[in-house]
């Protein structure tokens, strides 16, 4: 019998900007509850707020961005992904393995100022 172990993941989620604040909170809660339902643990949720998309997705130009760090058994990640695909409020998502949960996320300027 192979033993599975929990791994740390970083998930980026873009939620429809046309939702009310209450509906947006419920959409985020649906994402986190899906992780917890599979015995995963939410490590950190970072709200990046409403931002303009790089390109139009499903006739939408803006979305609410959330970065979620969570640990879950790697074998259950595919099941969660299938649930995300059924979530109509979720415009896009991406999940990658993470090394650690950062204390804070700071962005450096792209262009050096003289």
CATH number belonging to domain 18-93: 3.30.70.60
- Domain residue ranges in the chain: 18-93
Query: How does pLDDT run along the chain (114 residues), one tens digit per residue?
Result: 456 788 899 999 999 999 999 999 999 999 999 999 999 999 999 998 899 988 888 888 899 999 999 999 988 888 888 888 888 899 999 999 988 887 767 666 666 655
DSSP SS3 for 8: strand
Contact 18, 91 (CB under 8 A): no
């Amino acid at each position: 019998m192979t033993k599975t172990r929990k791994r740390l993941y970083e998930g980026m989620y873009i939620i429809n900007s046309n939702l009310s604040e209450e509906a947006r909170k419920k959409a985020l809660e649906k994402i986190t509850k899906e992780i917890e339902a599979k015995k995963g643990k939410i490590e950190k949720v970072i709200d990046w707020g409403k931002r303009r998309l790089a390109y139009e997705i499903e006739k939408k130009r803006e979305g609410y961005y959330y970065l979620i760090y969570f640990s879950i058994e790697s074998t259950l990640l595919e099941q969660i992904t299938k649930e995300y695909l059924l979530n109509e409020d979720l415009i896009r998502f991406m999940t990658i393995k993470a090394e650690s949960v950062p204390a804070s996320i700071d962005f450096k300027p792209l262009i050096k100022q003289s």
